[in-house]
Amino acid sequence: MGELEGAPSGEWIRTFAVITTDANELVAKIHNRMPLILAPQDYTRWLGEEPDPRELMRPFPSAPKRMWPISTRVNKPENDDPSIVEPIEYTIAIA
């Protein structure tokens, strides 16, 4: 998260950005990109003074991750309960 000066009042505005990279083998099954995930050993370098840590912008390995289908209820902020990430039965509708 960062801060940006620019509000008409001159106050600082808290903001953030999501950096994406190519999808790893797991995520590529559903999309061609994914959020950048840094390994803990890369945190210091990413947040340091280095002018171009571009080589850290690579897909995080698939191996420690897993995925399962969840409800589209996750798309609404008011659905704020643990059940939104429980696995659901996934079916493909054939037209």
Give the residues of the chain that fall short of pLDDT 50.
1
Q: What is the pLDDT of residue 65?
A: 87
Q: What is the pLDDT of residue 46?
A: 92
* Distance in angstroms (rounded) separating the CA atoms of residues 6 and 74: 32
Q: Write out 3-65 in H/E/C secondary structure.
A: EEECCCCCCEEEECCCCEEECCCCHHHCCCEEECCCCHHHHHHHHCCCCCCHHHCCCCCCCCC
Task: Name residue 35's beta-bridge partners.
Answer: 20
